[in-house]
Amino acid sequence: MPHAATLTDPDALYAHLKERLDDALDADLRRKAKLAAEINQLKQERNAVILGHNYMEPALFHTIPDFTGDSLGLSRRAAEAEQDVIVFCGVRFMAETAKILNPEKTVLLPAERAGCSLAESITAEDVRRLKQQFPGVPVVTYVNTYADVKAESDVCCTSSNAAAVVESLDSDTVIFLPDEYLAKNVAQETGKHIVFPSAGGDGALAGTESNVELIGWAGRCEVHDKFRVEDIERVREEHPDAVILAHPECSPEVVEASDYAGSTSAMIEYVEQTDAPRYLLLTECSMGENIMAENPEKKMLRMCWQRCPHMNEITLEDTRTGLREMRQQIEVPEEIRVRALRAVERMLAIG
Ligand code: 13P
Ligand code: SF4
């Protein structure tokens, strides 16, 4: 234990920790560097490309991906891939999207349990029921859905083009699934009126509410759902000069109280292109670490307890094993793939 007099002194505690943990941390970095070198060697042998989402843990993020980015950017990279194998260091719906775009390639997801609470929140049957309830109304699904849900949709979107996709449709009413908060944020941005029909409804809603323009669904991201306006107020009180950025999967109240909202790549770009004294990111916590590593001069405030458990499943160890043994290959039944492809390609065509 440190001396009692230093227990409340952060600098003394830092020195205490550094003295005791430096070797252990360094050993961990060496272990990760060795793994990353093995993966990069395997990548060449397998003629693979590695796509890494912005939420990957720092040691992985900074060593093995050929491309990093948000869902839209990585979908575009997947569509352009020339290698035989695509390794998706992200979650299942992202790897599925890569497979939808590249049926002839082998797509690997390093961890089986890398799911997503939004993708789990809706089934293809739910979408079919909504289409019966609201016949003829176009369906936009967030890319954070599984392939069979995409197959029931007219067009997909990501957090970076959701409003543009909705506005591109020549329809007074749009079904927007499954993220409740993203739908509300899009409604806010586009000035549309949104409603949430109860499951198993009979369509009466569309008839009774004549100004309904967006029909939503009650899915939520388990990570972004945890941020609160009080978190923002507390930080503003302690650091009035902090710029606060939120992902649009946060509640509309949180987005409203923030200074900027955008996709993960849009947030990174915002931080890189502005010169604020400090930033707070209301999103998965690895991203702040990754930005700091690239931009050591930027001061990031930490609220670092919101790690996505699904993204966290992707490790260097599992990526090496996946690539070495060609494990966790993603398959999408052809009948679903061709229908999902239409929705994904329409999304890629929109900004
Ligand atoms: P982006 O498309 O902004 O990278 O978001 C993906 C995601 O899962 C956010 O939680
Ligand atoms: Fe899904 Fe949320 Fe994790 Fe993104 S952060 S992958 S939306 S659970």
Please name the residue whose Cα sits nearest to atom 6 of ligand 2: 116
Would you state the structure tokens that stand for residue 21, as one six-digit string?
């943990």
| pLDDT per position as a tens digit, 68-96 | 999 999 999 999 999 999 999 999 999 99
Q: Is the pLDDT of residue 208 over 70?
A: no
Is 70 a pocket residue for ligand 2 (Cβ < 6 Å)? no
- Residue 81: C-alpha distances to residues 76, 77, 101, 275 (Å): 9, 6, 10, 35
Domain ranges of the chain: 4-115+312-325, 119-220, 224-307
Which numbered atom of ligand 2 lies nearest the CA of 55?
5
Output the average pLDDT for the chain.
93
Distance from the CA of 51 to the center of ligand 2, in angstroms? 17
DSSP H helical ranges for the chain: 10-46, 58-61, 71-80, 92-101, 117-120, 124-133, 147-151, 162-168, 180-190, 204-208, 229-238, 252-257, 264-273, 286-294, 316-325, 334-349
Amino acid at 159: S
* pLDDT for position 200: 47
Counting DSSP H helices and E strands in the chain, the numbers are 16, 13
| pLDDT per position as a tens digit, 251-277 | 999 999 999 999 999 999 999 999 999
Is 282 a pocket residue for ligand 2 (Cβ < 6 Å)? no
Distance from the CA of 73 to the center of ligand 2, in angstroms? 16
* pLDDT for position 7: 84
* pLDDT for position 6: 79
Contact (CB, 8 A) for 259 and 245: yes
Homologous superfamily of the 224-307 domain (CATH): NadA-like (3.40.50.10800)
DSSP letter at 50 equals: E
d(CA 91, CA 43): 19
d(CA 76, CA 73): 5
Which numbered atom of ligand 1 lies nearest the CA of 247?
3
* pLDDT for position 197: 83
Mean pLDDT calculated for residue range 327-331:
96
Residue 4 φ/ψ, nearest 5 degrees: -50, -35
∠ CA 249-251-256, nearest 5°, is 110
Q: Check for a shared fold between 4-115+312-325 and 119-220.
A: yes
* pLDDT for position 224: 97
d(CA 61, CA 55): 8
Mean pLDDT calculated for residue range 55-76:
96
Please name the residue whose Cα sits nearest to atom 2 of ligand 2: 221
Is 97 a pocket residue for ligand 1 (Cβ < 6 Å)? no
Q: Indicate the CATH number of 4-115+312-325 among 3.40.50.10540, 3.90.700.10, 3.40.50.10800, 3.40.50.1460.
A: 3.40.50.10800
119-220: which CATH topology? Rossmann fold (3.40.50)
